[in-house]
């Protein structure tokens, strides 16, 4: 069986559902494997990969693969953890044996690896590889003692996981009180308010809740927060169920494409009809991001 993971090309940015899809794939594919070699391109891709890191990385066995917000954590038997942020164009691609048929969709989607976007290559004892590819070089991979992971700046400030069973609408609304005078879209994208929301699911959930992205946080009613909470969780759960978002190049561990974009209702659908009222969807700029709304359903 061949194994490849998570390919995002242009326009396929990993948010919580995509990172979770990668996590599930890696969890299935790399636990128990032993790292025997590491190659990286620059210190930017692997900021703390100086010489002494090798001792804690090589001969280490993968014991777990976790996720927090959009960050992946690969736990090792050496009590160290690889922390990975895919940022905009990062991919983690696991390539196992070579019994991968030429007709398999991922062959044409990914091609031969490593390629010029490969930043870090981990080689396992069985000869398989995990490639960290990142066209735009925003992503990174770090090695830290597992016990220190919760102490990095990002982990200390990041907000709660919105899909946790015990995450209530009351807590959801309360988190936004820290950004009362900004618009709701900027607040949704703020990782210290809620973890894991990016541009796609911000637009999709705001459309579902019938809230204009430029509404000030302090102007939202409890009923609107309730709708936004429900829509955000529904849309993210649906996206995980569909294997994440992609236009045509994303695939998961089984070589299947992410199918959420087939279900997207406004994101990248400017010029099309709103599925609720038929009004033409428009694109605007909010919080420095391309933003898609139905001007009839979502009003200031």
Partner DNA sequence: CACTTGACCTGTCCGC
Partner DNA sequence: TGCGGACAGGTCAAGT
247 binds DNA (CB under 7 A): no
Q: Is 14 a catalytic residue?
A: yes
For DNA, the closer CB: 130 or 197: 197
Q: E strands along the chain, which residues? A: 35-40, 62-68, 71-76, 80-85, 90-95, 118-124, 129-134, 140-145, 282-286, 289-293
115 binds DNA (CB under 7 A): no
**Nearest distance, CB of residue 60 and DNA, angstroms:** 25
User: Which of 210, 233, 289, 295 is the catalytic position?
Assistant: 289
154 binds DNA (CB under 7 A): yes
What are the φ/ψ torsions at residue 224 (nearest 5 degrees)? Answer: -70, -40
CA distances from 131 to 72, 168, 218 (A): 14, 37, 44
Asked if 171 contacts 77 with a C-beta cutoff of 8 angstroms, the reply is no
User: Which of 70, 185, 227, 242 is the catalytic position?
Assistant: 70
For DNA, the closer CB: 35 or 235: 235
Asked if 38 contacts 54 with a C-beta cutoff of 8 angstroms, the reply is yes
What are the φ/ψ torsions at residue 62 (nearest 5 degrees)? Answer: -70, 125
200 binds DNA (CB under 7 A): yes
* Residues within window 212-241 making contact with DNA, judged by CB under 7 A: none
Q: Is 15 a catalytic residue?
A: yes
For DNA, the closer CB: 99 or 285: 285
Give the containing element (helix H, strand E) for 110: helix 105-110
Of 116, 150, 271, 278, the residue at the interface with DNA (CB under 7 A) is 116
**Nearest distance, CB of residue 71 and DNA, angstroms:** 7
61 binds DNA (CB under 7 A): no
Give me the DSSP letters along 197-214.
--HHHHHHHHHHTT--TT
**Nearest distance, CB of residue 85 and DNA, angstroms:** 6
Asked if 83 contacts 135 with a C-beta cutoff of 8 angstroms, the reply is no
Give the residue from 244, 260, 261 showing the smallest Cα distance to 252: 244
Of 77, 147, 178, 256, the residue at the interface with DNA (CB under 7 A) is 178
Q: Is 70 a catalytic residue?
A: yes
Half-sphere exposure of 187 (CA within 13 A, CB side): 25
246 binds DNA (CB under 7 A): no
Tokens of 216: 């000030």
101 binds DNA (CB under 7 A): no
Return the DSSP state at 34: B
**Stretch of residues binding DNA (CB under 7 A), selected from 46-54, 100-108, 174-182, 234-242:** 174-182
**Nearest distance, CB of residue 139 and DNA, angstroms:** 9
CA distance 252 to 258: 7
Of 66, 87, 226, 265, the residue at the interface with DNA (CB under 7 A) is 87
Of 74, 130, 141, 189, the residue at the interface with DNA (CB under 7 A) is 189
CA distance 128 to 110: 16
Q: Rule CB under 7 A: which residues touch DNA?
A: 10-11, 13, 15, 44, 69-71, 85, 87-88, 116-117, 135-138, 153-154, 157, 178-183, 186, 189, 191, 198-200, 283, 285, 287-290
Active site members: 14-15, 70, 289
């Amino acid at each position: 069986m061949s194994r490849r993971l998570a390919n995002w090309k242009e326009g396929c940015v990993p948010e919580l559902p995509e990172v979770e899809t990668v996590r599930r794939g890696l969890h299935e594919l790399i636990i128990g494997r032993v790292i025997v070699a590491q190659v990286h391109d620059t210190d930017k891709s692997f900021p703390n990969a100086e010489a002494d890191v090798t001792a804690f990385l090589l001969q280490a066995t993968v014991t777990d693969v976790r996720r927090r917000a959009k960050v992946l954590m690969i736990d090792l038997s050496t009590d160290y953890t690889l922390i990975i942020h895919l940022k905009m164009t990062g991919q983690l691609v696991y390539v196992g044996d070579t019994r991968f048929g030429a007709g398999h969709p991922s062959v044409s989607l990914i091609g031969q690896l490593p390629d010029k976007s490969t930043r870090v290559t981990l080689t396992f004892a069985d000869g398989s590889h995990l490639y960290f590819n990142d066209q735009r070089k925003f992503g990174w991979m770090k090695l830290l003692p597992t016990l220190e992971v919760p102490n990095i700046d990002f982990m200390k400030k990041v907000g709660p996981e919105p899909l946790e069973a015990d995450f209530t609408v009351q807590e959801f609304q309360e988190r936004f009180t820290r950004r009362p005078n900004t618009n709701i879209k900027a607040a949704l994208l703020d990782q210290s308010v809620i973890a894991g929301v990016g541009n796609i699911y911000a637009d999709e959930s705001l459309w579902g809740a019938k809230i204009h992205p430029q509404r000030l946080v302090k102007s939202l009613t409890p009923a609107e927060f309730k709708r936004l909470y429900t829509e955000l969780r529904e849309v993210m759960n649906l996206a995980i169920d569909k294997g994440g978002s992609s236009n045509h190049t994303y695939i998961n561990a089984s070589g299947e494409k992410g199918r959420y974009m087939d279900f997207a209702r406004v994101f990248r659908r400017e010029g099309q009809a709103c599925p609720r009222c038929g009004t033409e969807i428009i694109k605007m700029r909010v919080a420095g991001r391309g933003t898609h709304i139905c001007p009839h359903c979502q009003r200031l």
